[in-house]
Chains A and B, each alone.
Chain A
Amino acid sequence: MGAKQVLTSPEDTIPYGFDGTAALKGPVGVVVLPGSTEEVAAVVKLANEQNIAIVTRGSGTGLSGGSIPSAGCIVLCLTRLDKILSVDAANLTVRAQCGAITAAIDAAANRHRLFYPPDPGSMKISTIGGNVAENSGGLRGLKYGVTRDYVMGLEVVLPDGRIAHFGNACVKDVAGYSMKDLFIGSEGTLGIITEILLKVLPRPAARRTMLASYDRMEDAAQTVSDIIAAKIIPCTLEFLDRMTIGCVEDYAKIGLPRDCEALLLMETDGHPAAVADEAEQMLTLARARGARDVRVARDDAEALQLASARRSAFSALARVRPTTILEDVTVPRDKLAEMVAFIADAAKKHNLLVGTFGHMGDGNLHPTFLTDERDTEEMARVHEALEDIVTKTLALGGTITGEHGVGLAKKAWLRRQVGENSHDLMREIKRAWDPRNLLNPGKIFD
């Protein structure tokens, strides 16, 4: 590797000390930017010889501290491996290097009228390798699932530097353990994903986007239940609470109503006749549940504007206070209204400012505390509120993280959620696989 791709000066390395997670950063000694799988393998072999830990990162947009460097590690940044290698319209697959940008993959698929559905909030810059390592979700989870549902094959550099391939372009493949599934969501602790074979779908011929505003959050949640009960699976059912609406409108200036308690962003896609029919039904159901106003996006441009506005929610909330602590608790869909109300109460109880938004269709919530990391007393209250929220989530049969991963931010709660035996099994797998604990040490568990 050329010297230009090894960074050691503080001006070069300080900007790799963090990712998209608030209030977390680590020391960086060296950043390496390999240009091929072979270079990645060479770095891993060297790290083995020298017993140096490796923390892998893509664009650094993660939200659980998964790519925060640990002391004395090599930061392995894979953004240069950014090629989309092929789009295979006959087999409905796309092959890409790990550093390819998520939105670019969908754009490449689109040129063949194909569709890559997972659309995490940071899709304009997130890398597909990071998406696979974190098993990212997005706004279309209800109908289309998450990143895992689209991974058909992986090329992985193992902790000892060997290069292995898992999976293939066959829809059916039961040869041996499904090893690729172990790497999806492994957060850089088991191997370094360098190339991905993705499944894509025919692009939906039609799409309609709607926005309903409510005076009560429960009515929005109930509308979602009504839609599911009517046997409709829309691709998107997103909500924003009042605080979030205000911040998003400050940024996007697209005329969102600031005076309502909840906004429900609904989108249906598919065959034009089915879309027209479903959209009509969804509008009727929303009105029947007391939606104050229902607006249908005029065209693709307005639909995109609404979805982009929703995607900016997390960052837009940062306008209010210096530090923005984002959570990712997820509950079974029918418990969502209860959970939203609980979060609001918890914020009140601990005297905190919270904005909540998320994926109403799949129960994935993003309560976001607006606080100041320099105020230790307030931060202590934030942690108390988080404890309450996690306890309630687990009591409702939910999960501490729906799509952001455990990383550093949620590892304190993992054991509580999965139980002692599963937690031990996970750690045993990690130890057997990476006995010297060189790959992303300290993430998911200690």
Chain B
Amino acid sequence: MKPSLKLLDYSILQQCMHCGMCLPACPTYDATKKERHSPRGRISLMRAVADDELKLTAAFADEMSYCLGCLACQTACPAGVDYSNLLETARTEAQSAGLNQTFTSRFWRAVTIRGLFMRPRLLRFAGRLLWLYQRLGLQTAFRKIGLSKLLPKDLRRLEPQCPTIATKFSPQLIRPLETPSKKTYRVALLTGCVQDLVFAEINRDTADVLLANGCEVHTPPVQPCCGSLHAHNGEADAAKTLAKRMIDLFPPSQFDAIITNAGGCGNHLRHYGALLADDHKYGPLAKFWDSKLRDIHEWMMEHGCRAPQAGLGDLTVTYHDSCHLTHGQKVTKQPRDLLRLIPGLKLVELPEANWCCGSAGIYNLTQPEQSEQLLVRKVGHVLATGASVLATANPGCHLQIARGLRQAGSPITLLQPVTLLARAYRAER
């Protein structure tokens, strides 16, 4: 059965006592000062739907899509409202009611969410084609002769935002099994989708950091998408299918930890238990899986990460919290502590470090205006720190802020904490 607001345990909706503590944490309320664009406002709309006081309308669906899903409200909420669950349920309901769907949005959903992100080999193939297009200079030529103007409007807007595809994907960089000199733990490494296509090097860095700390690293070359994209966009059934494939590929009993290095994926990955709660076969297994799932920074600091002997010279670094790492997974201290292990590295705090950068999954594609405002705000803060490196641990934030820094003509480099740590380990040799 499809999740719906009416079938949802009413106590989850009722948990919100509309005290308003979430308002100052919400970027869309901050931008508009309208209750409808606040967490408690959205919950009141969901409750109105559940109570039959409001029909599922296009405006309701719009509102659910205007939410970034950054979950800053969950950190702010003293009452412990499960907003993420509410939002996903509301989006699924709006999606299955067929609201706000144009031909193009249906087409892109079919191609991406239902197509590519369900088929890892096909996704890599598409990535390779894109790489060729970029490598052979076709992109530049295309833009120069103005052919991109012939693209449909949506694509035309997105085309310049398309990230540069990596030359090598994860399986070309990481062997399925890599063993450290002295083995203490056995871990699985999740390579992700965007992370794999665009930042496969970061997966290599992650493996190196694990190896340097006594972990035997298992990295199957073909891995399914974790399904977070699907769950966040109202495709609950697909999300469940993918979760099961993931559990089949990585039986939790075989590993001390299952490691993810992407904040957005991680938050979804560690809630398979709730996603598959109704499934008698996978339900208990999913709970076990959740207990094994670790963000890379969390895992490293949990087991006393070895401080590198060498540094990277004098380096001033600032850190941006990815929303789902900080508000979803509550991992805030570990990435900073991990960075501080590197000799000579000076960490300066970023103002509003945990305020969304506007990437928010595919939000920068679906709500470009609001996304751009958040990006400009973020870049302003980053520039003010005077740091030469911005560290962050989520591919979405990485791409978004890197684009913002480029637009601002800033030389600040964007790196992930594990990359900095891996480089420091390499500098030891």
A interface, CB within 8 angstroms of B: 7, 9-12, 14-20, 22, 33, 59-61, 77, 79-80, 82, 101, 122, 124-126, 248, 250-252, 312-316, 318-319, 322-324
B354 to chain A minimum Cβ distance, whole angstroms, is: 15
Cβ–Cβ contact B19 & A15, under 8 A: no
Q: How far is the CA of A428 from the CA of B24 in the complex (A)?
A: 39
B interface, CB within 8 angstroms of A: 11, 14-15, 17-21, 23-24, 33-36, 38, 40-42, 44-45, 48, 53-54, 57, 59-60, 63, 77-80
Cβ–Cβ contact B53 & A122, under 8 A: no
Cβ–Cβ contact B80 & A250, under 8 A: yes
Cβ–Cβ contact A60 & B78, under 8 A: no
Known: A10-B57, A61-B20. 15 other contacts (CB 8 A): A10-B54, A11-B45, A11-B59, A11-B60, A14-B44, A14-B48, A17-B44, A20-B19, A33-B34, A59-B20, A82-B33, A248-B78, A315-B77, A322-B15, A323-B17
What are 10 residue pairs bridging A and B, where the CB atoms are less than 8 Å apart in the complex? A9-B59, A10-B57, A11-B60, A12-B34, A14-B53, A77-B35, A312-B21, A315-B19, A316-B80, A324-B79
B83 to chain A minimum Cβ distance, whole angstroms, is: 14
Instruction: Point out the residues of chain A lying under 8 angstroms from B19, CB to CB.
Output: 20, 61, 122, 314-315, 318
Cβ–Cβ contact A251 & B78, under 8 A: yes
Q: How far is the CA of A59 from the CA of B17 in the complex (A)?
A: 14
Cβ–Cβ contact B48 & A251, under 8 A: no
Cβ–Cβ contact A251 & B80, under 8 A: yes
Instruction: Point out the residues of chain B lying under 8 angstroms from A126, CB to CB.
Output: 20
Cβ–Cβ contact B79 & A319, under 8 A: yes
Q: How far is the CA of A82 from the CA of B15 in the complex (A)?
A: 30
Could you count the A-B residue pairs with CB atoms below 8 Å apart for me: how many are there?
A: 101
A197 to chain B minimum Cβ distance, whole angstroms, is: 24
Q: Quick one: given A10-B54, A15-B40, A15-B41, are A315 and B78 in contact (CB under 8 Å)?
A: yes
Cβ–Cβ contact A14 & B45, under 8 A: yes
B268 to chain A minimum Cβ distance, whole angstroms, is: 23
Q: Tell which of A124, A316, A318, A324 has the most Cβ of chain B within 10 Å.
A: A318
Q: How far is the CA of A82 from the CA of B35 in the complex (A)?
A: 15
Cβ–Cβ contact B59 & A18, under 8 A: no
Cβ–Cβ contact A312 & B78, under 8 A: yes
Cβ–Cβ contact A122 & B36, under 8 A: no
Cβ–Cβ contact A79 & B21, under 8 A: no
A362 to chain B minimum Cβ distance, whole angstroms, is: 22
Of chain B, the residue at the smallest CB distance from A253 is B330
Instruction: Point out the residues of chain A lying under 8 angstroms from B77, CB to CB.
Output: 315
Q: Quick one: given A61-B19, A122-B19, A314-B19, are A322 and B35 in contact (CB under 8 Å)?
A: no
Cβ–Cβ contact A318 & B17, under 8 A: yes
Q: How far is the CA of A89 from the CA of B28 in the complex (A)?
A: 34
Instruction: Point out the residues of chain B lying under 8 angstroms from A79, CB to CB.
Output: 33
